[in-house]
Structure 1
């Protein structure tokens, strides 16, 4: 025992000394690295620099600068490594927690404590909903993340009193905002057409030559109303809505969610304006991939704007889906941009007739805009402005009579008619256009040119020269020589082509 005790005491003493030497050496090394040695470096430099020439000073300054840059970069690398390690461990811990919760939920389901068919799982607290979504994996990752983001509650859109503008004030403020904040310049007429188009249809087409701000207009408007527009690049391969919205993969049992679907779903949680931009929409045939939306959005009852997404709904699917269907919210506008060249398809009359078409071929003049901030704009408030415009402004009886005579002539000579749909659009577009501060006949002219005269492109125009010339005379007679400028400009274009 005596020899063992002596050996143990000596061993413990040496071990303690070694540990102390290790710890003291570590802290001493840290001290020397960051404090002691830098002081010595400075002292050595101070002594040596007394004999430096101008060239020595230049080289010294360059070396010190490079040295400090290297040290800073090294510290940044160390910081990033530590940050990634912490993030990695957090993700792994989240995975472990998720698996644990999923296992617990499966056990409870197996034991009968939760009835899978009980719809109350969707009406309980958010924690229960999250557990339901984790059941045996999640078919909709992006959409379920939106459920979590909004905590299963619709987001209100509070508007300040100074944000409750009239339509002319809204035109002016947006025009100043886009010019001041984004250096994008638009005429008041263009913005009035844009707002009147929103009142007329949930689908809009912005077309014209490249560089006139077709995509920039909805982009800037999204920034203006504090809710960014979703810019979706249309792919030439799109043949049906499933390529645009996504589909259920029967092999993986996961839904291939697209950005378009995410934007449509998120709008169900919002009460402001949602703009979904289909950039270069005619790279594929619009009447193919967008056909279901064109039909649905014409239904008078918005509660019927339901689109089949999955064959059947199961526990864990996003809560805004109803019996496998997704609802198209009233606060969505689909805005397509279109170029006309050899790489694109022609947009058919089926699409044009249902959409608000805006031609953008001219760039507005630059102007000095005052500082203008973004604002909040709720869907209900904008819709109320449109409703008030239709009540307070209307097409005059004389112009309605002129439209009937013009329709009769065009139907007889060109076999193209206004029809109920276009007359309905006229009675919505023109009042809102007028409420934005524009002239009544200018609004009528715009609809006639974009909805009726544009269709003359498909006619055998060389045999219709006299009819076209008589149409110009009739326009002057019915509306005045200095009116219907867009209509007569388009007719003259067709005459030059024959």
Structure 2
């Protein structure tokens, strides 16, 4: 079957004749249509056949449209029959319900008559007793009159019962008729189902015809293109007519041989070339045109198949129309029967009203009889009634006791399950609750918030490090302290460099000095998911296996003593594993703390857990530090991590020194108590847009960003905001000409911008690197200038950033 035929070529002239190419789209037919090589007769034969095919296509489309309309009409008629069937079913159901109600009423009347007869017998017996015991005839005559009235009422009721019996018989007859109608209805319903299946099959046939209609649209498009080509061919034939007159006879012979014996076409072509070598190109066009004719013949065969399918569908439509005509009298008859049943139901409605009136009269009569019988009832009846009521209450009480016992057992079982679940949750959460914080220092420091206080703090901390036998330059201490202050935007401090330079000592001693808790997490090479950092729920042991980080977060959220205390989380040798695998999601959560509260979820499987325990807030009091050893066993940091971190580099020391054992006492020169987070946060300053420091930072960064854009590594708002906040919060930065301003901006060039140039081919960006060099030289920071030159002059021909290393003081 033809699919998606597309014209992708154009026309060209080969030997004075036009050639038109048509190529398939995916699984479409592939064919090449060419022009004839003879006179007007050879060219118009194919065009006429195409016109004929197109007319057949239009005719088939019209027939398909008519068939669709007939199909819609047939569906509407079927829907109408279905609606009538539903209404008839509802009416039949209502009639049956009314018949049942009348039967019920008749039974009630018969029961009532029996009660009246029984009452009449009782009155007669009592009358006999009264005659014996009481000689007063007046009372006896009154009771006899009452008995006579009851007998008359009984006779009247018996007449009504006889009338109702006749009506009941009539209704029974009508029910039998309705049963016959229902049998006929089910038969018609089966025929309707068969008709519906036939319509479904016909619908599928129509869908097939619609698919073929799309194919016919493709053929029509091809026909339109060939029509345009026909006009061009007609003009070309008129031009070639003088040359073709002499070849007319031979062309006719060649066309006949091509149509009857395609396999001998090569021999005919050889003979033809022997007679007319100069007509070789025209012969090739004739062969192409012959293949096009064969393709059209194939399509004509498909049209014949479509026509045969349409004829079959037409016959099927006529058959269905005949069945509909046959069913129409039956439907009309059922409609008349339905109207007759409705009339009968209406008549019965009136009878029902009369029965209701009789029922009300009987109720009034029963009330009167009960009033007459009240004087004749004795105390035993009341006692029996009380006894029966008491027995019933005893049975009910026993049932209630049994139900109470059963409910109590269910409650006890639910309590046991709840206790088991609580115990399971407690067991699962036990590891999280194991005591983590020990020896919390008190009280908080009583210090101010001025810059002088912060300066004194850093001087005291440096002296404390020296007394511990540790030597860190003032710029390293200031950079580390500032990076902790700006963790609301740069959520991680990374201490990188060679092993043994004190990278782990610096955050631990900082925590000791300020009285903060330090959580050290030793990163393992196997870490490859967030669960390695946070912990996981062991479904076999039914226990949560937390890390110290998760224990710290849980206990910080549930321990009031920890509020407003600083916690430093140290990821030791964090690049032994790929940081993006286990820390990337957590780092994004840390960065989002600046916009609002951020939470982690505890997964305990199906165990119940309160919302306040399941969700753990990541407090802003948690400050995160990571250490990195740069060797062949470690992984490098991605740009995503670098953009969200401040990286301090620890290089080879200029002078190797021994640590003095006499000055390593942890309590030397450490203030008592602890630095609370509110006082620490009070040292944080917000950038002011119009301040000279911020304007100067923006001037440098705009120039740097222009160079980075030429290189292909521009930066955006996040980097600008992080650098500006770092510079503003650097200790001692008050004006743009100070050494502290130069140090702070140089730190950020080395931590945020220059690492983005790693792997850059130096020779390809010589001018851009030279422009960056001039900008760095204007900063006037010698360590940054040396680090840039070292990276630029790498022997590998690539820019190898090794980090900004501060010289010893």
User: Structure 2 CA distance, aligned partners of 1:377 and 1:496?
Assistant: 46
Aligned residue for 1:380?
A: 678
Q: How do residues 19-168 of structure 1 correspond to structure 2 at under 5 angstroms?
A: 110=412, 134=423, 137-146=426-435, 158-161=443-446, 166-168=453-455
Aligned residue for 2:545?
A: 256
Aligned residue for 1:332?
A: 622
Q: What TM-score do the two structures reach when normalised by structure 1?
A: 0.65
Q: Structure 1 residues 409 and 162 mapped into 2: Cα distance closer, same or farther (>3 Å)?
A: closer
User: Structure 2 CA distance, aligned partners of 1:371 and 1:137?
Assistant: 42
User: Structure 2 CA distance, aligned partners of 1:467 and 1:162?
Assistant: 49
User: Structure 2 CA distance, aligned partners of 1:357 and 1:141?
Assistant: 37
Q: How do residues 263-342 of structure 1 correspond to structure 2 at under 5 angstroms?
A: 263-268=552-557, 269=559, 270=562, 271-301=564-594, 303-310=596-603, 322=612, 324-342=614-632
Worse-matched range after superposition: 236-245 or 263-272? 263-272
User: Structure 2 CA distance, aligned partners of 1:364 and 1:193?
Assistant: 20
Any idea what SS the aligned residue of 1:307 has? strand
Worse-matched range after superposition: 300-309 or 347-356? 300-309
Worse-matched range after superposition: 302-311 or 235-244? 302-311
Greater relative CO (CA pairs within 8 A, separation 6+): 1
User: Structure 2 CA distance, aligned partners of 1:307 and 1:343?
Assistant: 31
Unpaired stretches in structure 2, ≥5 consecutive residues: 1-408, 798-809
Number of residue-to-residue matches in the alignment: 365
Shift of 1:137: 4.8
- The structure in which a higher percent of residues are helix is 2
Q: Structure 1 residues 400 and 213 mapped into 2: Cα distance closer, same or farther (>3 Å)?
A: same
User: Structure 1 CA distance, aligned partners of 2:690 and 2:510?
Assistant: 26
Deviations 1:282-325 (A, max 9, x none): 0000011001111112225564411222166856x6x8x63622
Deviations 1:77-127 (A, max 9, x none): xxxxxxxxxxxxxxxxxxxxxxxxxxxxxx99847789969xxxxxxxxxx
Q: Is 1:445 paired with 2:746? A: yes
Aligned residue for 2:714?
A: 417
Aligned residue for 2:10?
A: none
Query: Does the Cα contact within 8 Å between 2:483 and 2:493 map onto a contact in 1?
Result: yes
User: Structure 2 CA distance, aligned partners of 1:381 and 1:284?
Assistant: 36
Q: CA-atom RMSD, angstroms?
A: 3.6
Worse-matched range after superposition: 419-428 or 323-332? 323-332
Q: What TM-score do the two structures reach when normalised by structure 2?
A: 0.41
Q: Is 1:488 paired with 2:785? A: yes
Shift of 1:469: 2.4
Query: Does the Cα contact within 8 Å between 2:544 and 2:604 map onto a contact in 1?
Result: no
Aligned residue for 2:504?
A: 215
Q: Is 1:179 paired with 2:179? A: no
Q: Structure 1 residues 282 and 485 mapped into 2: Cα distance closer, same or farther (>3 Å)?
A: same
Which of 477, 486, 492 aligns to 1:200? It is 486
Q: Is 1:236 paired with 2:525? A: yes
Query: Does the Cα contact within 8 Å between 2:513 and 2:670 map onto a contact in 1?
Result: yes
Worse-matched range after superposition: 206-215 or 431-440? 431-440
Shift of 1:354: 0.5
Q: Is 1:466 paired with 2:761? A: no
User: Structure 1 CA distance, aligned partners of 2:541 and 2:507?
Assistant: 37
Any idea what SS the aligned residue of 1:230 has? strand
Shift of 1:392: 12
User: Structure 1 CA distance, aligned partners of 2:494 and 2:576?
Assistant: 14
Query: Does the Cα contact within 8 Å between 1:157 and 1:378 map onto a contact in 2?
Result: no
User: Structure 2 CA distance, aligned partners of 1:272 and 1:109?
Assistant: 46
Query: Does the Cα contact within 8 Å between 2:521 and 2:572 map onto a contact in 1?
Result: yes
Query: Does the Cα contact within 8 Å between 2:521 and 2:570 map onto a contact in 1?
Result: yes
Aligned residue for 1:354?
A: 644
Query: Does the Cα contact within 8 Å between 2:535 and 2:547 map onto a contact in 1?
Result: yes
Shift of 1:326: 2.0
User: Structure 2 CA distance, aligned partners of 1:239 and 1:335?
Assistant: 19
